[in-house]
Amino acid sequence: DSGVTQTPKHLITATGQRVTLRCSPRSGDLSVYWYQQSLDQGLQFLIHYYNGEERAKGNILERFSAQQFPDLHSELNLSSLELGDSALYFCASTLRSTTDTQYFGPGTRLTVL
């Protein structure tokens, strides 16, 4: 158990819908990273937050957004969902933004029908 929690574990929805994925980092960790894992693209970095502020963006679509709240949990919002958005979404946390060792949560499996 990495100490990172993610909810829900599974999510099934329809095209065009909007969903919110939630992540709670390890106790004391200030940084949260979001990743998407699909069969054809592998593990891709989406976005990084540190202590409530966005620090870096990766291959994140404009339809996707994220935020980190004062209690340090983070939410990833996916809107206007398409079939290709079906994937595993992971968050990871670290103590400081410069810490290299990222601890991953169990993931949310999103299925868009």
Partner 1 sequence: GQQLNQSPQSMFIQEGEDVSMNCTSSSIFNTWLWYKQDPGEGPVLLIALYKAGELTSNGRLTAQFGITRKDSFLNISASIPSDVGIYFCAGHRTGGTSYGKLTFGQGTILTVHP
Site residues (vs partner 1, CB under 8 A): 2, 4, 31, 33, 35, 41-45, 48, 50, 55-56, 58-59, 90, 92, 94, 97-98, 100-107, 109
* Distinct helix (H) and strand (E) counts, the chain: 0, 11
Query: With contact defined as beta carbons under 8 Å apart, do 48 and 32 qualify?
Result: yes
Task: Determine which helix (DSSP H) or strand (DSSP E) holds 81, and give its type and residue range.
Answer: none
The torsion angle over the Cα atoms of residues 13, 111, 41 and 64, rounded to 10 degrees, is 20
Judged by CB, which is closer to partner 1: 107, or 112?
A: 107
Instruction: Supply the minimum distance, in Å, between the C-beta of residue 9 and partner 1.
Output: 9
Judged by CB, which is closer to partner 1: 27, or 98?
A: 98
Judged by CB, which is closer to partner 1: 44, or 65?
A: 44
Instruction: Supply the minimum distance, in Å, between the C-beta of residue 95 and partner 1.
Output: 12
Place of tokens 């004062």: 70
Task: Determine which helix (DSSP H) or strand (DSSP E) holds 90, and give its type and residue range.
Answer: strand 87-94
Instruction: Supply the minimum distance, in Å, between the C-beta of residue 63 and partner 1.
Output: 17
